[in-house]
Amino acid sequence: MARTTLQARDLWADIQTLRERRPLVHSITNVVVTNFNANVLLAAGASPVMTQAHEELEDMVAIAQALVINIGTLDAYAVEAMTIALRAANARGVPVALDPVGAGATAYRNRTLAALLAAGRPTAIRGNASEIMSLAGEAVATRGVDSSAGTEAALAPALALAANHGAVVCVSGAVDHVVAPDGRVLRLDNGHEWMTRITGVGCSLTALVGAFCAVQPDAWRATAAATALMGVAGEIAAEQARARGAGVGTMAALLVDALQLVDEAGFLARARIVDD
């Protein structure tokens, strides 16, 4: 595999740009994570707005710098909202991050994802391994919203998915894989297992992918910056929680703190880009 040309300092530059520019990120997301996602976006430096009212979708997309679509809790109204917003974003060149929550768990989710991908083109897709494998057409059963596979097994499916849809694909897990439609692959070895025990960390990563796509035109690099930031912040939060004998509830708050407070030295010391 080609050695990556991306360095941690490139990703740090994007984090600084996000903090300076405060892009407006419009999310149509699930009812479990809406508040947490908004706090994650604010902590990282973006400006969130959540709405799915059909009457205002086109106007909101028109003033947003990124759109995030998350299928975690679906119903017919939300699916129509996602379709309208996706089309509007594509027409205006607004980048779109898609979170295929629970892909492979139910026929309704699979159908909805197929219809969305037929209606428009996401700039980036972020899911756990079994979600990405399912979306790429592999026969894999996602267990509810949690992954049933490792990220290495999802690499080939992710590359195929990226090429087929012209979208960057991020497979999150113990080692995150960020792949581009042209075959570029970046592996990031950050994070902590406890991140899987706080609901919506993956969804929030997808929201960050949208935010970084608003400020970095190379969607692969933008997705890598989002993924590295979440991984580094998760590591810091887990360490701090454990140091005070706390668990994942405290860690959720510390994760938001770390997204806000991580500095250049802390980020560069921790970000682990893995080359083959």
Ligand X SMILES: Nc1ncnc2c1ncn2[C@@H]1O[C@H](COP(=O)(O)OP(=O)(O)OP(=O)(O)O)[C@@H](O)[C@H]1O
Pairing mode, strands 168-172 and 124-128 = parallel
Continuous H helices in the chain: 8-21, 34-44, 57-63, 76-92, 107-119, 129-135, 155-165, 201-215, 219-243, 248-261, 264-270
Closer CB to Mg ion, 48 or 202, in the complex: 202
Q: Of residues 26, 176, 211, 256, which one binds ligand X by CB under 6 A?
A: 176
**Interaction between residue 174 and ligand X (CB under 6 A):** yes
Which of these segments, 30-38, 48-56, 100-108, 181-189, binds Mg ion (CB under 5 A)? 100-108
Restricting to residues 193-212, name those near ligand X by CB under 6 A: 193, 195-196, 199-203, 205
Q: In angstroms, give the least distance from the CB of 201 to ligand TZE.
A: 8
Q: In angstroms, give the least distance from the CB of 34 to ligand X.
A: 12
In angstroms, rounded to a whole number, what is the distance separating the alpha carbons of residues 254 and 260? 10
List residues bridging with 68 in a β-sheet.
27, 97
Q: Of residues 66, 67, 82, 101, which one binds ligand X by CB under 6 A?
A: 101
What DSSP assignment string belongs to 63-90?
H-SEEEEE-SS--HHHHHHHHHHHHHHH
Q: In angstroms, give the least distance from the CB of 246 to ligand X.
A: 18
192 binds, among ligand TZE, Mg ion, ligand X, none (CB under 5 to 8 A by kind): ligand X
Residues in contact with ligand TZE by CB under 6 A are 30, 32-33, 72-73, 101, 145, 199-200, 203
